[in-house]
Amino acid sequence: MKINVVGKNVTVTQGISDKIHKKLEVLNKYFIVGDEDTANVLIRTYRHKQKIEVTIPTKFAILRAEVMDDDLYNAVDKVIDKLEDQIRRQKTRLTRKNKDSLAQAFIDEVDDDLDSDDQVVKTKSIVPVEMSLDDAIMKMELLGHDFFIYTDDETQKIAVVYKRYDGGYGLIETE
C-alpha cells in the first residue's frame, strides 16, 4: 500500500511519518487492502488537539476514519483501530449472512452442464491468491461475482467457490 502523509498547520517529521507508515502496514494483512491502493493521511493541528484523517479508497470499499486527540501518536493508534473495526464488521456481516447457506452447499451435488452451442466471447487471466474459503466467499460477495478462483490456504491447490441457484455455495477443488 502506498501512503501519502500531508500536514496542515503542522510539519510532518520523519518520526511521525515512520509511525504512520508502520501502523498502516498492519492493514496489508486484510484482503480488502491491496498493494496498488493509496492511503491518504491528513494531519491537522488545532490549539489543544491533534486530528488525523485516513482515507483508503480500495476496489471493494472506501475505508475512512478520523480521530481527534491531545497526542498525535495516540490519535494514530486510535485511527488504525477504527479502520480495523470497519474491515472486521464487513467480514462479520458477510460471514453471518452466508453461514447457513455455506453449510448446505457442501451437502448438495455439483451440477455443471455446458451447451455445445456456447462460444467463448472473452478470455481473462488471473493469478489465484492464497486465502481461506471464508475469505474467498467474502471477496466474491464484495466483488458481486457468481464465482471466485483462489488458492486454498490449507491444501495449497487452486479452488473455485461459486453461488448456486438454490441460494447456497459450491466448491470445486483440483487434484
Question: To which residue does cell 491447490 refer?
Answer: 157
What SS3 state is found at 129? coil
Domain that includes residue 71, residue range: 2-97
Query: Of 32, 130, 17, 129, which is closest to residue 83 (Cα–Cα)?
Result: 32
Give this prediction's pTM. Answer: 0.54
Do residue 11 and residue 89 come from a single domain? Answer: yes
Query: Is 157's pLDDT higher than 90?
Result: yes
Query: Which of 60, 82, 97 is the endpoint of a domain?
Result: 97
What CA–CA distance (Å, rounded) separates 120 from 125? 14
Query: Is 115's pLDDT higher than 50?
Result: no
Supply the Cα-derived Rg of the chain in whole angstroms.
Answer: 21
Query: Of 15, 86, 12, 96, which is closest to residue 55 (Cα–Cα)?
Result: 86
Do residue 8 and residue 85 come from a single domain? Answer: yes
Each residue's pLDDT tens digit, 47-73 = 889 999 999 887 767 788 999 999 988
Each residue's pLDDT tens digit, 11-26 = 888 988 899 999 888 8
Which residues fall within 8 angstroms of residue 32, CB to CB, at 6 or more apart? 58, 60, 61, 63, 87, 90, 142
Q: Give the pLDDT confidence score for residue 88 in this predicted structure.
A: 80
What SS3 state is found at 124? coil
Do residue 16 and residue 82 come from a single domain? Answer: yes
What CATH number is given to the structural domain containing 142?
3.30.505.50
What CA–CA distance (Å, rounded) separates 105 from 167? 8
Mean pLDDT score, 135-141? 88
Do residue 93 and residue 133 come from a single domain? Answer: no
175 or 93, which is more confident: 175
Least trusted range by pLDDT, from 3-17, 80-94, 109-123, 154-168:
109-123
Domains in the chain, number: 2
Tell me whether residue 151 is in a domain.
yes
> How remote is the C-alpha of 53 from its chain's centroid?
19
What CA–CA distance (Å, rounded) separates 84 from 26? 9
Q: Give the pLDDT confidence score for residue 98 in this predicted structure.
A: 64
Tell me whether residue 113 is in a domain.
no
Q: Average per-residue pLDDT in the chain?
A: 82
Do residue 56 and residue 133 come from a single domain? Answer: no
Which residues fall within 8 angstroms of residue 110, CB to CB, at 6 or more apart? 170, 172
